[in-house]
Amino acid sequence: MGILTQTVTTRLLADEVVAPAEVTVNLYRTAEVTPRITAQIIHRHARMGERVKKGEGLITLSSVEMADAQGELLIASREWRRVKQLGRKVVSEKRYVAAQVNRQQAYAKVLAFGMTEAQVEALLKQGDVSRATGTFDLISTQAGTVISDNFVIGRVVEPGQVLMEISDESRLWVEAHLEAEVASRIKIGAPARISSDEQQWVNGKVVQIHRRMDETTRTLAVRIELESDEGGLRPGQFVKSAIALTAGKSVMAVPSEAVILLQGDYVVFKPEGEEIHPTPVERGVTRGNWTEIKAGLALGDEIVTQGAYVLKSMLLKSMIGDSD
């Protein structure tokens, strides 16, 4: 029947403030992929929703500016190799220094235009001027998920134009808007819970409280960082937040699904030998998926924590049968 039991223990339950909130990306774990020079999009290597690794190629671009810069680097590198082989005893000091500086400047230029050191070294290793085609890859600067890729192949893009966004969705933000008086009672690091359906909750903690009030609502935004991505939440989604106002107190508590309403009384099911019987309890506060028990149970008691509604249904059917 899928019946599970566990022993009754104490749990820390805190006073909370409940407020509507919105899920957002974690800006500290998000990166925009943009070109540094005018270029044409040649190929895409990742799509929205795909996970990428740090250093993975995302988009191949082609640029006339980059082609010129790559050619200058190959020529400057060839000259520097020649001068260095000849040495200072053969060439003048002026030519030696000029060749070295020109090579360094050409190397820095292609890096500034958007090539990585690995791409530059691969180009230099080939040493073929015909390879100075102006193509290069934009890479991911972090691991994460592609959350946007608003571009098409063949489009000419300008410096700073956002082509992709990469975000680590394992640490999403949730922003709850509270009255300033309430927000002042919340401390950084306070535990919080987030739910989209008030059934499944995801844990998090307060990481920041905004310094400026919203001019329209006259509220302060409290930023919560989620501890996992198990809740299936998405940026832009509206949710309910519950933020702890106090450190909380240790009370006897059981999973809320273990407490059910049976003929006007709240009960839990307790195994007694080979049988299971309902036991009336007095409830206290409920925080998330846990309910305080003020009376009716003792620490160490074994109760049914999964399948209580199945047992309730079977009990009611048996009661109906007895009445017949």
Three-state DSSP class for 282? strand
Percent over 70 (pLDDT), the chain = 97
pLDDT band at 320 (very low <50, low <70, confident <90, very high): low
Distance CA 321, CA 135 (A): 80
Q: What is the mean pLDDT of the chain?
A: 91
pLDDT score recorded for residue 198 = 79
Please give the pLDDT value at position 321: 60
Q: Which of 39-48, 78-87, 192-201, 245-254 has the highest mean pLDDT?
A: 39-48
Report the C-alpha gap between 169 and 288 in whole angstroms.
23
pLDDT of residue 306: 87
Mean pLDDT of 210-221: 91
Q: What DSSP letter does each residue of 201-266 carry, written as one string?
A: -EEEEEEEE-SS--TTT-EEEEEEEES-STT---TT-EEEEEEE-S--EEEEEEEGGG-EEETTEE
pLDDT tens readout for residues 295-315: 999 999 999 988 888 888 888
Greater confidence, 138 or 285? 138
- Of residues 320 and 226, which shows the higher confidence score? 226
| Amino acid in position 30 | T
Which residues make Cβ contacts (< 8 Å) with residue 164, sequence separation at least 6?
A: 32, 33, 46, 58, 59, 138, 146, 148, 149, 151
pLDDT of the residue at 201:
85
End-to-end CA distance of the chain: 26
Lowest-pLDDT choice from 42-56, 209-223, 229-243: 229-243
pLDDT above 80 for 133: yes
- In this predicted structure, the answer to whether residue 287 has a pLDDT above a threshold of 80 is no
pLDDT category of residue 246 using cuts at 50, 70 and 90: confident
pLDDT above 90 as % of the chain: 67
Residue 243 has pLDDT above 70, yes or no: yes
Q: What is the average pLDDT across 17-35? A: 95
